[in-house]
């Protein structure tokens, strides 16, 4: 029994890693512009398709990773500059609809260019092997996901908490006016936050494709929403909260599917949303947040 | 002529005018155009009911498609021929499987089902605000879709219900539009409407003047859901098919676009915007097919929204109705 | 050092600053006093580039050249040595004391210089050295004020704009802060001080202005204004 549980833990960690990667970027953006970025999920899709294209062109994997990061950063910076800057200070709901519109534009443009057919996405054969340890088996893919995510998160935390740029981002997220008085180029800082957050989401796309084996232009919607739920669980706007929320959500979802009877497992997405509503009503500040926004 | 009488006369006049238009179209245009006009009427009805929820009461709800799905399935299941029903939907309780209702009762029950769902869901969800409410209502769409897909004993799962008797047509759609518009108009220009708008503007202040804001929000939400369910029920009997994915986030978005472009809070604006967008999507369809660019009309709609949000956020009419119509239907009152 | 001429600023539809003109000479401490809503904070926000002016000019002349503050970006203004310590401190509560100070030095690049300034600030406010790893939000009101000033000093200001430094502070702390301000002036920093606590401001000011409804109503030295009957009655609450 406990072996089964342990197995689920490993699966949950892998899924949670994906959610955490997307959630962190989402949280960084929310922290700095106070807007839910609906298009964030679509960056996962962009990362996945970019990977597909590069692999088909014969680019070696380490370079693919690097380029996906760059493409994600560029796409994110563009979205941030063109769409979000004009929206800062607009009513919450206006921003929400606008980012939803952007997401729809991205999804449908991808549909037009790529068609809705799911594409197969295969990691090199070695990734599908399974590794056994302590009675638990995990695919190399899952282990790679867990490991790579941990690395990226470590790098991100270093940037945010140990560099001047990171401190400037945190300062801007807290108090834009004071940041300006320090001479911080607020506009540039916002774009950088978008770039970094989006790069992480794009990598999540690369990993997502490898894990689930199939990608299509509408793939971003679900990860985007679940990233939002993860952020709410951990505390919106806090990077630590997004991390925690992402892993918790992954674990919760896997446990739900693993422990509930077969018929109920199709309701995994409903479960996630019910969780969201419960948390918003019961502990709206999440598990990590210091200040509470007005949301209920 | 006093206010009420002149208003009733004007309403009757508008309906007669509309009816004449519908009769003309039905007798001169092709089946395709007639169906298209019916869909347009239904979209307009949906947009107006969303104006009530979002515009008047300020609830940013994206949940309309969820209530449409509920209404569509309930109505379709009720009007389905009894014999086929028993075999196709095995988990249906026998007494439902053996009844076959005519359209009107089925529609009403569908509407009530939507309203009941909204009442149930509204208690927790309406305590949220702003974009959190929006995401929660998005979650409703996902939950209803999950239910429709998984509870295949009564919904036939992902395949959906097809062969639903085509019982509605353009007159039913016109009727719904007329009812929704009248209801919305009467609410908007009544003290109830003013209470809703007060709740939208400043909840704390509204409470202080004795308005039961919780009730206002719930009322707006439930009425909106009732009409959405009705629209869904009519839609399924118009085109004969419903699947879990029929009414999705995309539809929710398009409805929001209609409300925003028309001016959130303007009934006439919603009708005009709904008509324009429905017509646009339909006219672009042949181009999409021939060019293989599925999604083109959707991109155009989304881009239009972004432009409107940046350059004319109040939409066509803001929260007001066109002067002429207001004068006609409300007299010299504000 | 600072010449403000014909400054007109609107906030929304309200005309807050009306043709405002005043001077601050290099090395002196100028005080701007006035009632709430007179436009004092608006003046400082405009000088720091956070508000757009409708018309006018605000030229700062340092040894290195001149700059019209009304036509410069906030970052450029800070780099030119015009640094504000805003109303209500506005420290970064989620950052540590050390990080707050580091943000003050954001526009400077010479690590050795920054380290030296940090040492000076630590000497001036020892509590900041003691609590360098504490989150700024955990500091007391007086400590936050010291942090805010320290942060401003780390930008190596030539012209320091202080917005209501005494706000919300215990009287003893107010004295400490004002001692620091006087000391800063002595070390060569030009200071423009906004205060509702007119008495203390006029005591230490070389030059003072009374701002009334967006215009300078009375101007003179600190001592002159402190002795002015009108000022005494309206702003110092003395006499009747």
| Interval A50-58 mean pLDDT | 88
B132 vs A contacts (CB less than 8 Å) = 280, 295-296
Q: What is the rounded CA–CA span in Å between residue B247 and residue B267?
A: 22
Bigger pLDDT: B1 vs C156:
C156
Lowest model confidence (mean pLDDT) among A85-99, A243-257, B70-84: A85-99
Phi/psi region, residue B322 (left: phi>0; alpha: psi -120 to 50; beta: rest), is beta
Residue B3 scores a pLDDT above 70:
no
Give the residue ranges of chain C where pLDDT is below 70.
237-240
Residue B219 scores a pLDDT above 80:
yes
The helix (H) or strand (E) run that includes residue C208 is: strand C207-212
Mean pLDDT of chain B: 83
Distance from first CA to last CA of chain B, Å, rounded?
18
Determine how many CB atoms are found less than 10 A away from the CB of residue B82: 12
C46 touches chain A (CB under 8 A): no
Instruction: Tell if the CB–CB gap between B142 and A107 is shorter than 8 Å.
Output: no
Predicted confidence at residue B332, as pLDDT, reads 46
- Whether residue B70 contacts residue B232, with contact meaning beta carbons closer than 8 Å, is answered with yes
Mean pLDDT of chain A: 86
CB-based contacts of A66, cutoff 8 Å, min separation 6: none
Going along chain C from its start, the domains and CATH numbers come out as 2-92+157-234 (3.40.50.300)
Q: What is the rounded CA–CA span in Å between residue A108 and residue A45?
A: 12
Q: Is residue A4 part of a domain?
A: no
Which of helix, strand or coil describes residue B288? helix
Tell me the per-residue pLDDT of B303-320, one tens digit each, with 9 for 90 and over.
999 888 888 877 777 777
Which of helix, strand or coil describes residue C40? helix
Q: Is residue A286 part of a domain?
A: no
| Interval B2-9 mean pLDDT | 69
C210: closest CA among C55, C16, C40, C37?
C40
CB-based contacts of A168, cutoff 8 Å, min separation 6: A179, A184, A189, C103, C106
Predicted confidence at residue B263, as pLDDT, reads 82
Q: Is residue A233 part of a domain?
A: no
Which residue among B293, B296, B305 sits closest to A97, beta carbon to beta carbon?
B305
Question: Which residues is A130 bridged to in the sheet?
Answer: A139
Residue B334 confidence class, pLDDT cut points 50, 70, 90? very low
A105 vs B contacts (CB less than 8 Å) = 299, 302-303, 306
Residue A295 confidence class, pLDDT cut points 50, 70, 90? very low
Predicted confidence at residue C239, as pLDDT, reads 59
Determine how many CB atoms are found less than 10 A away from the CB of residue B7: 18
| Interval B192-220 mean pLDDT | 79
Strand-pair category, C65-68 with C55-62: antiparallel
Handedness of CA C4, C7, C10, C15 (dihedral sign): positive
The helix (H) or strand (E) run that includes residue C79 is: helix C74-79
Strand-pair category, C190-195 with C29-33: parallel
Handedness of CA A254, A260, A264, A267 (dihedral sign): negative
Give this complex's ipTM.
Answer: 0.89
Q: How far is CA B329 from the centre of its chain?
A: 23
Predicted confidence at residue A106, as pLDDT, reads 92
| Interval B53-77 mean pLDDT | 87
- Whether residue A36 contacts residue A96, with contact meaning beta carbons closer than 8 Å, is answered with yes
Residue B331 scores a pLDDT above 70:
no
Instruction: Tell if the CB–CB gap between C92 and A183 is shorter than 8 Å.
Output: no
Which residue among B136, B249, B293 sits closest to A276, beta carbon to beta carbon?
B136
* Boundaries of domain holding A100: 17-219
Residue A179 confidence class, pLDDT cut points 50, 70, 90? very high
Whether C and A touch (3+ CB pairs < 8 Å), yes or no: yes
Residue A292 scores a pLDDT above 60:
no
Predicted confidence at residue C84, as pLDDT, reads 94
Q: Could you give the number of structural domains in chain A? A: 1
B311 touches chain A (CB under 8 A): no
Q: What is the rounded CA–CA span in Å between residue A240 and residue A249?
A: 14
Bigger pLDDT: B149 vs B321:
B149
- Whether residue B268 contacts residue B317, with contact meaning beta carbons closer than 8 Å, is answered with yes
Tell me the per-residue pLDDT of B67-121, one tens digit each, with 9 for 90 and over.
999 999 999 888 888 777 777 777 777 777 777 888 888 899 999 999 999 999 9
Predicted confidence at residue B2, as pLDDT, reads 58
> Would you kindly state where each structural domain of chain B is located, as residue ranges?
3-246
CB-based contacts of A43, cutoff 8 Å, min separation 6: A25, A72, A75, A76, A198, A201, A202, A205, A220
Predicted confidence at residue B211, as pLDDT, reads 74
Determine how many CB atoms are found less than 10 A away from the CB of residue C115: 11
Mean pLDDT of chain C: 88
Which backbone phi and psi does B242 adopt, to 5 degrees? -145, 135
Q: Is residue A240 part of a domain?
A: no
Question: Which residues is C163 bridged to in the sheet?
Answer: C194
Residue A293 confidence class, pLDDT cut points 50, 70, 90? very low
Residue in chain C lying closest to A172 (CA): C92
Name the token pair of B71: 């209404």
Residue B330 confidence class, pLDDT cut points 50, 70, 90? low
């Amino acid at each position: 029994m406990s072996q089964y549980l342990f197995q689920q833990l490993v699966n949950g960690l892998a899924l949670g890693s994906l959610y955490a990667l997307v959630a962190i970027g989402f949280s960084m953006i929310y922290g700095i512009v106070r807007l839910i970025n609906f298009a964030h999920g679509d960056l996962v899709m962009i990362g996945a398709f970019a990977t597909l294209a590069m692999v088909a062109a014969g680019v070696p994997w380490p370079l693919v990773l690097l380029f996906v990061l760059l493409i994600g950063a560029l796409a994110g910076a563009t979205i941030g500059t063109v769409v979000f800057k004009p929206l800062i200070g607009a009513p919450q709901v206006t921003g929400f609809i606008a980012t939803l519109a952007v997401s729809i534009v991205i999804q449908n443009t991808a549909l037009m260019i790529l068609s809705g057919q799911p594409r197969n996405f295969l990691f090199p054969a070695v990734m599908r092997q399974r590794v056994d340890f302590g009675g638990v088996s995990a695919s190399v893919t899952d282990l790679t996901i867990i490991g790579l995510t941990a690395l990226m998160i470590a790098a991100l935390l270093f940037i945010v908490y140990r560099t001047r740029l990171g401190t400037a981002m945190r300062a801007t997220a807290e108090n834009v006016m004071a940041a300006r008085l320090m001479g911080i180029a607020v506009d540039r800082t916002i774009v950088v936050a978008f770039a970094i957050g989006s790069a992480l989401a794009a990598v999540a796309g690369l990993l997502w494709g490898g894990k689930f084996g199939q990608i299509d232009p509408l793939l971003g919607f679900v990860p985007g929403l679940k990233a939002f739920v993860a952020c709410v669980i951990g505390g919106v706007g806090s990077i630590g909260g997004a991390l925690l929320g992402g892993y918790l959500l992954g674990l919760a979802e896997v446990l739900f599917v693993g422990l509930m009877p077969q018929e109920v497992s199709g309701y995994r997405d409903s479960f996630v949303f019910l969780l969201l509503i419960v948390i918003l009503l019961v502990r709206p500040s999440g598990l990590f947040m210091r200040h509470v926004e007005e949301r209920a | 002529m006093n206010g009420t009488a002149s208003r009733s006369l004007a309403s009757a006049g508008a309906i007669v005018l509309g009816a004449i238009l519908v009769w003309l179209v039905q007798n001169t245009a092709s089946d395709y155009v007639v169906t298209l006009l019916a869909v347009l009427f239904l979209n307009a009805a949906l947009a107006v009911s969303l104006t009530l929820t979002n515009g008047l009461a300020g609830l940013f709800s994206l949940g309309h498609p969820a209530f449409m799905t509920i209404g569509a399935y309930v109505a379709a299941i009720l009007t389905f021929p009894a014999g086929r029903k028993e075999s196709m939907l095995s988990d249906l309780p026998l007494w439902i499987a053996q009844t076959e209702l005519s359209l009107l009762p089925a529609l009403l029950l569908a509407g009530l089902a939507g309203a009941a769902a909204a009442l149930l869901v509204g208690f927790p969800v309406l305590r949220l605000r702003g974009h959190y409410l929006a995401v929660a209502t998005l979650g409703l769409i996902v939950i209803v879709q999950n239910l429709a897909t998984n509870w295949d004993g009564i919904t036939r799962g992902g395949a959906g219900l097809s062969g639903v008797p085509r019982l509605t047509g353009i007159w039913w759609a016109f009727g719904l539009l007329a009812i929704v518009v009248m209801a919305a108009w009467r609410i908007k220009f009544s003290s109830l409407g003013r209470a809703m708008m007060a709740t939208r503007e400043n909840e704390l202040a509204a409470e202080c003047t004795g308005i039961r804001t919780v009730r206002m929000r719930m009322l707006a939400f439930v009425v909106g859901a009732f009409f959405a369910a009705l629209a869904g029920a009519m839609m399924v009997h118009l085109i004969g098919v419903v699947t879990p994915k029929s009414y999705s986030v995309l539809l929710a978005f398009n409805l929001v676009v209609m409300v925003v472009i028309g001016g959130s809070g303007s009934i006439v604006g919603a009708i005009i915007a709904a008509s324009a967008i429905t017509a646009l999507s339909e006219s672009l369809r042949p181009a999409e097919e021939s060019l293989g660019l599925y999604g083109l009309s959707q991109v155009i709609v989304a881009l239009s929204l972004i432009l409107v949000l940046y350059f004319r956020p109040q939409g066509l009419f803001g929260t007001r109705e066109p002067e002429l119509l207001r004068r006609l239907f409300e007299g010299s009152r504000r | 050092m600072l010449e403000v001429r014909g400054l007109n600023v609107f906030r929304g539809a309200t005309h807050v600053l009306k043709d405002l003109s005043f001077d601050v000479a290099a090395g002196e401490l100028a005080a701007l006093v006035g009632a709430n809503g007179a436009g004092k904070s608006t003046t400082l926000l405009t000088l720091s580039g956070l508000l757009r002016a409708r018309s006018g000019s605000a030229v700062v002349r340092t040894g290195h050249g001149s700059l019209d503050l009304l036509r410069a970006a906030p970052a450029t203004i800070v780099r030119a040595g015009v640094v504000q310590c805003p109303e209500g401190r506005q420290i970064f509560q989620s950052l540590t004391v050390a990080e707050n100070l580091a943000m003050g030095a954001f526009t400077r690049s010479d690590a050795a210089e920054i380290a030296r300034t940090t040492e000076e600030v630590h000497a001036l406010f020892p509590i900041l050295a003691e609590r360098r790893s504490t989150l700024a939000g955990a500091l007391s009101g007086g400590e936050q004020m010291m942090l805010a000033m320290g942060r401003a000093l780390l930008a190596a200001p030539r012209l320091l704009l202080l917005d209501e430094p005494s706000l919300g502070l215990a009287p003893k702390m107010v004295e400490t802060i004002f001692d620091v301000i006087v000391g800063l002036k002595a070390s060569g920093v030009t200071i423009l001080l906004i205060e509702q606590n007119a008495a203390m401001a006029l005591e230490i000011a070389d030059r003072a202005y009374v701002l009334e409804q967006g215009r300078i109503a009375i101007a003179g030295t600190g001592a002159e204004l402190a002795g002015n009957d009108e000022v005494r009655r309206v702003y110092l609450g003395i006499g009747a």
